[in-house]
Amino acid sequence: MTAYADRFWTSRDGLKLHYREYVGREDRPPVICLPGLTRNARDFETLAERLAGEWRVLCPENRGRGDSAYAKDSATYNPLQYVQDLGALFEEAGIERFVAIGTSLGGLLTMIMAMTTPEKLAGAVLNDIGPEINPEGLERIRGYVGQGRNFPTWMHAARALEESQGSAFPDFTAEDWLAMAKRCMVVGSNGRIVFDYDMKIAEPFSQPGGEAGVDMWPGVDGLAGKPVLLLRGELSDLFTPETLAAMAARLPGCETVTVPRVGHAPTLDEPESFAAIQRLLAKVAG
């Protein structure tokens, strides 16, 4: 297991935010792994360990997730705020250019950065996300975010995940569900297993337009001419084949990969996902 350092940075409104850093070559742009809505740095453990050494890897946790502080004002749980928080991290860490690997919400943040600071992106992986989100998938996510469920044991937690997400990962074993539970949950103060995020992140998300709320196609156009990988889970209910095709048409030279028998979102541990990420990074490395 590759060692990482737990590091912190401060948001402009004074929150102490957390990231994991894996050491790698300093002559290459670092890889920044950006997690989904309710997720944290642990989602990228396997990927980061495999890339470390050749690549410096940072896995930031958005406010209200993992070891990052919870916001006093739940209205700050929004994509534009998360991008501003990342900007503060890049300033503190002296990062001028980077490769973004964004899963779901993390991909939306990547597209916003491609709109606002495209010169910072040396390349990008958008994992099961596009500028148009399938309403069915969005409703499914709205149905479970912020529910505040808790469980007596890790096995109960794993079974609950299987019940809610089994259709997205039909080939997962009990061990896989247990591993996923340990990525997205922690032991709470009362000894129960709880989700590792502030339940209030659901408040702005549940408002009309609370997903992205803006036209994200300029974020796709902002990636033109850069190494780009578009990943889609074959069973995804959030990212349609039509949106994938429309994005590819606007990004000549990008690679598209559909990960078989996986829904929203590929874990990036799949052989197809990792091989595609390696090809993307080889283009960045030149």
pLDDT digits (tens, 9 = 90+) for 43-77: 999 999 999 999 999 999 999 999 999 999 999 99
How sure is the predictor about 98, in pLDDT bands with cuts at 50, 70 and 90? very high
Beta strand spans in the chain (E): 5-10, 16-22, 31-34, 57-60, 98-103, 121-127, 150-151, 185-187, 193-195, 228-233, 255-259
Taking every pair of Cα atoms in the chain, the longest distance, rounded to a whole number of angstroms, is 53
Give 143-164 pLDDT, tens digit per residue.
888 888 999 999 999 999 999 9
Over the chain, what is the mean pLDDT? Answer: 95
* Coil vs helix vs strand at 277: helix
Helix (H) or strand (E) holding 156: helix 154-165
Domains of the chain by range and CATH? Answer: 5-135+212-285 (3.40.50.1820)
Asked if 249 contacts 221 with a C-beta cutoff of 8 angstroms, the reply is no
Show the tokens assigned to 155.
């096995």
Residue 26: Cβ within 10 Å count: 7
